[in-house]
């Protein structure tokens, strides 16, 4: 749908101004933000996992997984897809990421960055048994929604900050993966068939992501052709930001209450 | 690589919009999310709107609700109590509970090592009215669900007596409310291995373990708690 002639022409037309834009980007300008993100990541990893693990996976799923021994690729594929599709935090972030991406190529690039990020920490987190506090990780995931919405509003440019948006999506992808890893470990996976089940879960996450994106990108493409998009984009991103703030508050309250 | 063609909004729009987002989020949190998810209701509006009813409580666990409705099933003891027949009899007498006649008193010792996030369930077969004294300790706090269900009716009729996330030990006398299987599910939610050691004395006839859904019979060790030292070597 998006690979129309108009899009291809736009693609070629956009190549020209892109190169100078690349030059303008001072790699050092993104450094403080990256350092901040890495510090947040370290903080999340150092916070004791402990009792906060037991939330967000339904009791029924937990009981089902407890009865699984050995490889069960389809069961875990489904759980991964279900978690992505029903996880409002991931969905809001994805909406934010693709909001202004009207070229399929850009959608693929950004979503790949996100996928690389969350797959790294999902696989790594479970296999290395790295502990992270679920509330803190989920609060940072909420923050990623606020960040993306603010960026979509042109907030960082207004503040004079030049953030590498692709790197930011990658780094926030790492946090989303850490959140996924915590959910998987909360399921109480048995060591028998761990790798198969984990990879199946990861593949399921990607399938769920494609499903969500197909709907979101289609709806956005329809909306983009309407006049209401220009003014509506402002309110839509404010709504995303509000959702992100609610997620942060929800998770932080959980953290301090536990 | 800022290739996102997002329009830049005016400073005024950004400030007003962001403030509105924070404000609406704060209201939604305080009025809806916190009362519904945690039962925290600082304004009282959550209760007024009937939202606090959604908050999960311990009692909402149907199994725990059933188990806690009973009395004289779990008689907690000091951690220092020895799980032997003398203490069992004394505790039962203290609560005016008659020991079930005609059932042998046997002792058992069970040691299990749990890898991170590993869980195991140990169950004893006990007749209605049968009693046992038990003591279990873990090298680090574990999640525990002490529960039982009758042979007739099965898992549907499960009753829980304790469900807690971080418990280092438990010492008590247990009086079976029905004929069935009675015991514990332990889960290690630490990042290191944990060893759980259980010692029991009571009118139990058999033991079995459930690990990852697989049920296995386990012979009782008949090892007296007083000289218990060596780990169980079940054949």
Mean pLDDT to the nearest integer, A81-103: 91
Closest CA to A167 of A210, A214, A109: A109
pLDDT surpasses 50 at A99: yes
User: Is A45's pLDDT higher than 70?
Assistant: no
Within-domain flag for B104: yes
Comparing B95 with A61, the larger pLDDT belongs to B95
pLDDT value at position B151? 87
A82 Cβ partners below 8 Å, 6+ apart? A204, A208
Q: Token match 């978690």: residue?
A: A83
Residues 74-133 of A with CB under 8 A from B: 99-101, 106, 129, 131
Q: Per-residue confidence at A7, pLDDT binned at 50, 70, 90?
A: very low
In a domain, B1, yes or no: no
In a domain, B224, yes or no: yes
Quick one: average pLDDT of B73-100?
90
Q: Which residue has the higher pLDDT, B187 or A184?
A: B187
Does residue A188 have a pLDDT over 70?
A: no
Residue where a domain terminates, one of B54, B69, B87: B54
Residue among A69, A4, A33 at smallest CA distance from A165: A33
Q: Percentage of chain A with pLDDT > 90?
A: 41
Going by pLDDT thresholds of 50, 70 and 90, the confidence category of residue B60 is low
Among candidates A51, A153, A185 on the partner chain, residue whose Cβ is nearest the Cβ of B17: A153
Q: Please check whether residues B45 and B92 belong to one and the same domain.
A: no
pLDDT bin (cut points 50, 70, 90) of residue A65 is low
Q: Is B55 helix (H, G, I), strand (E, B) or coil?
A: coil
What is the token pair recorded at B20?
């509105």
Q: Which residue has the higher pLDDT, B153 or A61?
A: B153
Q: What is the mean pLDDT of residues A42-59?
A: 47
B145 and B86 in one domain?
A: yes
Least confident of A63-77, A219-233, B114-128: A63-77
- Is residue B200 predicted with pLDDT exceeding 80? yes
- Winning range, highest mean pLDDT, from A31-45, A174-188, B110-124: B110-124
Nearest-CB residue to A25 (from B1, B14, B18): B1
What's the pLDDT at A70? 73
Q: A1: pLDDT confidence band, cut at 50, 70 and 90?
A: very low
Is residue B194 a part of any domain in this protein? yes
| Angstrom distance (rounded) from CA A192 to CA A8 | 49
Instruction: List CB contacts (< 8 A) between A46 and chain B.
Output: none
Long-range contacts formed by B62-67: CB under 8 A, 24+ apart:
B63/B147, B63/B158, B63/B159, B63/B160, B63/B163, B64/B160, B64/B161, B64/B163, B66/B158, B66/B159, B66/B160, B67/B147, B67/B159, B67/B160, B67/B161
Residue B196 clears pLDDT 80, i.e. is over it: yes
Same domain, B142 and B43: no
Contacts of A188 in chain B (CB under 8 A): 117-119, 187
Mean pLDDT value across residues B133-156 = 89
Q: What's the distance, Cα to Cα, between the start and end of chain A in Å?
A: 48
CB of A243 closer than 8 Å to CB of A92: yes
Contacts of B4 in chain A (CB under 8 A): 100-101, 151-152, 165
Residue A72 — pLDDT band, cuts 50, 70, 90? Answer: confident
Q: Confidence band (pLDDT; 50, 70, 90) for A194?
A: confident
Q: Do B22 and B99 sit in the same domain of this protein? A: no
- A203: tokens are 């593949």
Confidence of residue A222 (pLDDT cuts 50, 70, 90): very high
Token representation of residue A58: 């339904």
Query: Is the Cβ–Cβ distance between A205 and A87 less than 8 Å?
Result: no
pLDDT of residue A8: 43
pLDDT mean over A59-66? 61
Tell me the pairing of strands B206-211 and B74-76.
unpaired
pLDDT of B6 higher than 70 = no
Its domain, for residue B176, covers: 59-233
| Domain CATH number, residue B209 | 2.60.120.680
Both B163 and B212 in a single domain? yes
Interface probe, candidates A27, A152, A242, chain B, greatest B C-beta count within 10 A: A242
Maximum mean pLDDT: which of A236-240, B61-65, B147-151 = A236-240
pLDDT of residue B197: 95
Three-state SS for B78? coil
A residues 152-181 closer than 8 Å to B (CB)? 152-155, 157-158, 162-167
- Residue B86 inside a domain? The answer is yes
Q: Please state the rounded mean pLDDT for residues B47-59.
A: 74
Per-residue pLDDT at A50 exceeds 60: no
Structure-block tokens of residue A39:
């510090």
3-state SS, one letter per residue, for chain A:
CCCCHHHHHHHHHHHHHHHHHHHHCCHHHHHHHHHHHHHHHHHHHHCCCHHHHCCCCCHHHHHHHHCCCCCCHHHHHHHHHHHHHHCHHHHHHHHHHHCCCCCHHHHHHHHHHHHHHHHHHHHHHHHCCCCCCHHHHHHHHHHHHHHHHHHHCCHHHHCCCCCCHHHHHHHHHHHHHHHHHHHHHHCCCCCCCHHHHHHHHHHHHHHHHHHHHHHHHHHHHHHHCCCHHHHHHHHHHHHHHHHHHHHHHHHHHHHHHC
Name the residue in chain A with its Cα closest to that of B189: A50
| Structure tokens belonging to residue A83 | 């978690």
Residues B51, B56, B62, B64, CA torsion sign: negative
Task: Find the closest chain A residue to B56 by CA distance.
Answer: A55
Query: pLDDT value at position A51?
Result: 32
Segment A208-218 shows an average pLDDT of 92
Closest-CA residue of B relative to A62 is B212
Q: Tokens for A52?
A: 């906060």
Tell whether B222 is covered by a domain.
yes
Of B19, B34, B54, which residue sits at a domain end? Answer: B54
Q: How confident is the model at residue A56 (pLDDT cuts 50, 70, 90)?
A: very low
The band of A18, judged by pLDDT with boundaries at 50, 70 and 90, is very low
Q: Do B6 and A153 touch (CB under 8 A)?
A: yes
Interface of B to A at Cβ within 8 Å reads 1-11, 13-14, 17-18, 20-22, 24-26, 28-29, 33-34, 37-38, 40, 115-119, 143, 165-166, 187, 189-191, 212-214
Whose tokens are 């942060």? That residue is A248
| B212 and B154 assigned to the same domain | yes
Q: Mean pLDDT over residues A235-240, rounded?
A: 95
Nearest CA to A40 out of A118, A136, A110 is that of A136
Two structure tokens written together for B226: 């007083």
| Residues B122 and B223 occupy one common structural domain | yes
DSSP letter at B80 equals T
What letter would DSSP give residue B109?
E
Residues B14 and B50 in one domain: yes
Determine the pLDDT at residue A21. 38
Q: Quick one: B71 and B150 in the same domain? A: yes
Looking at residue B58, the DSSP 8-state letter turns out to be G
Give percent of chain A above pLDDT 70.
72
Six-digit token pair at A12? 């070629």
Tell me the average pLDDT of chain B. 85
Task: Determine, yes or no, domain membership for B67.
Answer: yes
B44: CB partners within 8 A, 6+ apart = none
Provide the pLDDT for residue A4: 44
In chain A, residues with a C-beta closer than 8 Å to the C-beta of B29 are 245-246, 249-250, 253
Q: What is the pLDDT of residue B231?
A: 45
- B103: alpha, beta or left? (left if phi > 0; alpha if psi -120 to 50): beta
What local confidence, expressed as pLDDT, does residue A16 receive? 39
The two tokens of residue B99 are 């020991």
Task: Calculate mean pLDDT across residues A213-242.
Answer: 92
User: What's the rounded Cα separation, in Å, for the pair A33 and A168?
Assistant: 8
Phi, psi of B106 (to 5 degrees): -125, 160
Task: Report the domain count for chain B.
Answer: 2
Q: Residues B189, B217: one domain? A: yes
The reply to whether B10 and B64 lie within a common domain is: no
Within-domain flag for B160: yes
Chain A residues with CB under 8 Å of B18 CB are 150, 153, 155, 238, 241
Do B43 and B67 fall within a single domain? no
Which pLDDT does position B120 carry in this prediction?
A: 92
Decide if A51 contacts B189 (C-beta within 8 A): yes
């Amino acid at each position: 749908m998006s690979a129309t002639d108009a899009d291809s022409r736009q693609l070629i037309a956009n190549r020209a101004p892109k190169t100078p834009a690349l030059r303008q980007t001072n790699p050092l300008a993104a450094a403080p933000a990256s350092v901040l993100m890495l510090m947040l990541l370290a903080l999340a990893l150092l916070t004791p996992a402990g009792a906060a693990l037991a939330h967000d996976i339904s009791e029924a799923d937990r009981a089902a997984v407890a009865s699984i021994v050995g490889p069960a690729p389809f069961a875990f594929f489904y759980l991964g897809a279900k978690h992505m599709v029903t996880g409002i935090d991931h969905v809001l972030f994805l909406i934010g990421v693709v909001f202004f991406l009207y070229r399929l190529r850009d959608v693929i690039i950004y979503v790949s960055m996100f996928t690389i990020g969350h797959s790294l920490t999902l696989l790594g987190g479970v296999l290395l048994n790295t502990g992270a506090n679920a509330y803190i990780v989920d609060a940072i995931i909420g923050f990623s929604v606020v960040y993306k919405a603010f960026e979509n509003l042109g907030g960082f440019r207004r503040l004079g900050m030049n953030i590498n948006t692709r790197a930011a999506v990658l780094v926030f992808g790492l946090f989303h993966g850490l959140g996924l890893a915590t959910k998987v470990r909360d399921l109480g996976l048995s060591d028998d068939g761990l790798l198969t089940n984990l990879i199946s879960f990861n593949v399921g996450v990607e399938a769920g992501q494609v499903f969500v994106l197909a709907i979101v990108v289609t709806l956005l493409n329809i909306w983009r052709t309407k006049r209401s998009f220009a003014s509506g984009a402002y309110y839509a991103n404010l709504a995303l930001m509000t959702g992100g703030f609610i997620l942060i508050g929800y998770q932080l309250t959980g953290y301090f209450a536990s | 690589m800022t290739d996102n063609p997002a329009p830049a909004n005016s400073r005024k729009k950004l400030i007003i919009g962001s403030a509105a987002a924070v404000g609406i989020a704060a209201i939604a949190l305080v009025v809806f999310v916190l009362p519904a998810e945690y039962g925290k209701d600082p304004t009282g509006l959550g209760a007024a709107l009937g939202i606090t009813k959604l908050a999960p409580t311990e009692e909402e666990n149907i199994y725990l609700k059933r188990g806690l409705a009973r009395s004289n099933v779990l008689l907690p003891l000091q951690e220092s109590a020895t799980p032997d027949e003398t203490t069992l009899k004394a505790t039962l007498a203290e609560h005016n509970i008659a020991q079930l006649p005609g059932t042998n008193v046997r002792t058992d010792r069970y040691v299990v090592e749990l890898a991170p996030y590993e869980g195991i369930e140990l169950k004893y077969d006990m007749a209605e009215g049968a009693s046992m004294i038990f003591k279990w300790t873990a090298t680090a706090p574990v999640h525990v669900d002490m529960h039982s269900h009758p042979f007739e009716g099965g898992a549907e009729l499960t009753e829980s007596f304790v469900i807690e996330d971080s418990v280092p030990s438990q010492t008590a006398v247990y009086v079976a409310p029905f004929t069935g299987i009675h015991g514990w599910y332990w889960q290690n939610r630490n990042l290191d291995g944990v060893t759980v050691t259980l010692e029991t004395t009571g009118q139990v006839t058999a033991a079995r373990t459930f690990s990852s859904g697989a049920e296995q019979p386990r012979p009782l060790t008949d090892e007296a708690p007083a000289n218990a030292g060596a780990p169980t070597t079940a054949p």
